[in-house]
Chain A
Amino acid sequence: MESKRTEKATLVDGSTIEYVVKDNPPKGGMKYTYFTPDKKYVVQFFNDPKNANDINIHKRLEAIVGKYNPTLSEEKGGSRGNTQLAADYFSSRFCWPKSLIKSPEFGIVCPAYPSNYFFSENSTDIEGYKDILKGKDKKSTYFTSPKLSKYLKSDELGDFRSMLSLSINLARSIRRMHQAGLAHSDLSCNNVLIDPQKGTCVVIDIDSLVVPGLYPPEVIGTSGYIAPEVLETMELPIDDPNRKLPSSYTDLHSMAVLIYEYLLKRHPLKGPKVYSTESAEKDDFLALGPKATFIENPVDKSNRPKDLTYTIKDLGPELEKLFIRAFVDGLHSPNERPTAMEWEKGLVKTWDMLSQCSNSKCTHKWFVLHDPQKPICPYCKTKIKAKEVVRLKLKSRVRGRNGQWIDAGEINCYDNMPIFKWHIYSNCFPDEKAERDLQASIHYYQGQWIFVNRGIAGMLSPSGNIVPIGQAVLLSDGSSFQASNDEKGYLIEASITRW
């Protein structure tokens, strides 16, 4: 019979926390886990007493809980420059350790992840699988593996737009970590939980972070997500100068693999190419390490599956470029990999190019409409019902050159589309600090497209007159207007493609 009892742990600040001790607690690679009675927190201890007594691990965790903590404002002892707004934002995106335990032995307290990252009994229709799935963490393999996702109810799977949304989430969280000089070092399908329904993700297992100036953790990562250079040199002694250890560069590989899996439901390096017939281990080592080849490499097609129906080209030019940099230019050259910030920007730009599929049964529901001449969903091949594509080109002022503008982004319009500050001003970016109040909205009204001012000071009409709040400009092919007469305001050019 399973026994349960409640124990008390003392934290480093002297306060205590209760936790429920169970037989066979859930065990990870490093630690085992108990819950507090209210299930709001988990209490974790190390499997190996050597780790629990390791001074380097103590120092690293102290830094993670304190001065590098993005889920705590600077005022409350968190990372430098962190506002309460940013801290609140990241609290739901990271499962960040909250405090350290000093007795009965060294351990950590983390928030439990929110309930939407656990499966419920309604997640599948398959009898016998319901009870198994219920309460399990939403690891991304459940959603990105066609073999597994077919057992889930279709509403669990989200759609292309929600997968893009959680990709933005991930890039933003990793960008925040890297900004602070931290590296996760073990990003994988197991350490980023996703909720495709809501379009959000949470990064967990924060305790193996690489912290500046402190000893790196001794993890190398999870198979399939380890950067090729780390796999290739893992046999070398830890202090060998040629040995590559997890770092922010290797995170950039792992993250690109995850984003590729979220958006394309396959692994970027696992194709048909046989690298060695000697053994499966050898073949895998070469395929993910020294000889790794992107399945969509535009030049070397040796690893390209025959049955690719949609590719990175269908994700639009921004993401196509990023994936080529991550998996062709940067696969074996870590400095060539796009940074998390570049991913965040590219993903956000791609968001503005989304178009809803006209086929209500389409599994993806949304797609990136990058070529207005070909308004066809790449997933179900349905042409959109609308008779036209209305696109807004955003242009920003070239500094010091009056009257010159450069391309800064594009928007595909749809009825009732909200327009935010980052669509109006070139110095605004939709990150954790962005204000998300409505600036304008786009409507299809009496057979015409209009751009309604909802809160912009200094919006101008095509002829240069002020458009007061509540008034609108007509979007016609070739028309252009200044979204704001502020120096940072974009010039918006409309184009309408009809067929």
Chain B
Amino acid sequence: MSDYMRRLPVYLLLDCSGSMSGEPIEAVRQGVKALLSELKGDPQALETAYLSVITFNSSARQVSPLTELMAFKEPELNAGGATALGGALNVLMDCVKNEVRQSTATQKGDWKPLVFILTDGAPTDIETFKNAISNLKNIKVANIIACAAGANADTTYLKQITESVLMMNTLSAGDMAQFFAWVSGSIKMSSKSIDAKPGEAIQLPPPPQGFVIVP
């Protein structure tokens, strides 16, 4: 049966630059743990959602390949280095190309991937970032939600990636926990796809209190 079970691929792009060291990166670790536990408790998410983690500091790499939830191993997250957000977008595009099944006349494709980007700064690889953005715009591969965390996060770059940008004021454990709870809520909602309207924008739950949607 598995050949035509449509999957919901979810990519987390996590900032692991030097500024995230200490409490913030620990909060992200706890967040991923909580996210996984929350999703494993939801039968629809268990059935359809597949998770991958891409981290970025001075360079970017996929630390967890797209895996079903029960088999997913939490990645080791360590902070240090710069903010290669552009590189992360390139890795994302490669992963989507390689891992997400496209519809063909004989094969059912996956759902459009859901991508969550969490960063506390601004890209340090500006040229790469600019190129990545133009490539990303052309292919429209995914529903991307970006979250700017803390006072130093620059939302103008994120706005170039996607319309959906959130801002949380602090990098505190509490805010981070809320963010990951919201991410799991969004994934659950998408995996239920209550409104299976063709071509409609995906519906996400309202962001947590204290988070601002950047217009």
Binding site for B on A (CB under 8 A): 24, 29, 126, 129, 132-133, 136, 139, 141-142, 145-148, 151, 189, 220, 222-223, 226, 231, 234-235, 266, 270-272, 274, 276-285, 288, 305, 307
Binding site for A on B (CB under 8 A): 1-6, 37, 40-41, 43-44, 46-47, 68, 70, 103-112, 181, 192-200
Given contacts A272-B108, A277-B105, A280-B109, contact A223 B192 (CB under 8 A): yes
Q: Are A141 and B112 in contact (CB under 8 A)?
A: no
Q: Are B46 and A277 in contact (CB under 8 A)?
A: no
Q: Tell which of A126, A146, A148, A281 touches B199, judged by Cβ atoms closer than 8 Å.
A: A281
Residues of B close to A148: CB separation below 8 A: 43, 46-47
Residues of B close to A29: CB separation below 8 A: 194
Q: Tell which of A133, A189, A223, A281 touches B200, judged by Cβ atoms closer than 8 Å.
A: A281
Q: How far, in angstroms, from A148 to B106 measured CA to CA in the complex?
A: 26
Residues of A close to B68: CB separation below 8 A: 147
Q: Are B198 and A282 in contact (CB under 8 A)?
A: yes
Residues of B close to A132: CB separation below 8 A: 37, 40-41
Number of A-B residue pairs at CB separation under 8 A: 93
Q: Are B37 and A285 in contact (CB under 8 A)?
A: no
Q: Are B6 and A284 in contact (CB under 8 A)?
A: yes
Residues of B close to A139: CB separation below 8 A: 43
Q: How far, in angstroms, from A220 to B194 measured CA to CA in the complex?
A: 9
* Residue of chain B at shortest CB distance from A151: B70
Give 14 A-B pairs besides A146-B1, A147-B46, A226-B196 with Cβ atoms closer than 8 angstroms: A129-B40, A151-B70, A223-B193, A274-B103, A274-B105, A279-B112, A280-B103, A281-B111, A281-B112, A281-B197, A281-B198, A282-B199, A285-B196, A305-B1
Residues of A close to B41: CB separation below 8 A: 132-133, 136
Q: How far, in angstroms, from A223 to B111 measured CA to CA in the complex?
A: 14
Residues of B close to A278: CB separation below 8 A: 103
Q: Tell which of B4, B106, B107, B196 touches A223, judged by Cβ atoms closer than 8 Å.
A: B196
Q: How far, in angstroms, from A281 to B194 measured CA to CA in the complex?
A: 12
The 9 residue pairs across chains A and B that have the minimum distance between CB atoms: A141-B43, A277-B103, A282-B198, A285-B198, A281-B198, A272-B4, A132-B41, A280-B111, A132-B40
Q: Are B194 and A222 in contact (CB under 8 A)?
A: yes
Give the Cβ gap from A303 to chain B, nearest Cβ, in Å.
10
Q: How far, in angstroms, from A276 to B200 measured CA to CA in the complex?
A: 16
Give the Cβ gap from A452 to chain B, nearest Cβ, in Å.
46
Q: What are 21 residue pairs bridging A and B, where the CB atoms are less than 8 Å apart in the complex?
A: A126-B70, A129-B70, A132-B37, A142-B43, A145-B47, A147-B68, A148-B47, A223-B194, A234-B197, A271-B4, A272-B3, A272-B108, A274-B104, A277-B104, A280-B103, A280-B110, A281-B111, A281-B112, A281-B200, A283-B103, A283-B109
Q: Are A285 and B43 in contact (CB under 8 A)?
A: no
Residues of A close to B44: CB separation below 8 A: 141
Give the Cβ gap from B138 to chain A, nearest Cβ, in Å.
17
Residues of A close to B47: CB separation below 8 A: 141, 145, 147-148
Residues of B close to A277: CB separation below 8 A: 103-105, 109
Q: Are B197 and A283 in contact (CB under 8 A)?
A: no
Residues of A close to B1: CB separation below 8 A: 146, 266, 305, 307
Residues of A close to B197: CB separation below 8 A: 234-235, 281, 285
Q: Tell which of A222, A272, A283, A285 touches B192, judged by Cβ atoms closer than 8 Å.
A: A222
Q: Are A284 and B199 in contact (CB under 8 A)?
A: no
Give the Cβ gap from A253 to chain B, nearest Cβ, in Å.
15
* Residue of chain A at shortest CB distance from B6: A280
Residues of A close to B105: CB separation below 8 A: 274, 277
Q: How far, in angstroms, from A222 to B181 measured CA to CA in the complex?
A: 23
Q: Are A288 and B196 in contact (CB under 8 A)?
A: yes
Q: How far, in angstroms, from A234 to B112 measured CA to CA in the complex?
A: 22
* Residue of chain B at shortest CB distance from A282: B198
Q: Are A189 and B43 in contact (CB under 8 A)?
A: yes
Residues of A close to B199: CB separation below 8 A: 279, 281-282
Q: How far, in angstroms, from A228 to B110 measured CA to CA in the complex?
A: 22
Q: Are A280 and B112 in contact (CB under 8 A)?
A: yes
Q: How far, in angstroms, from A129 to B70 measured CA to CA in the complex?
A: 9
Q: How far, in angstroms, from A276 to B44 measured CA to CA in the complex?
A: 23
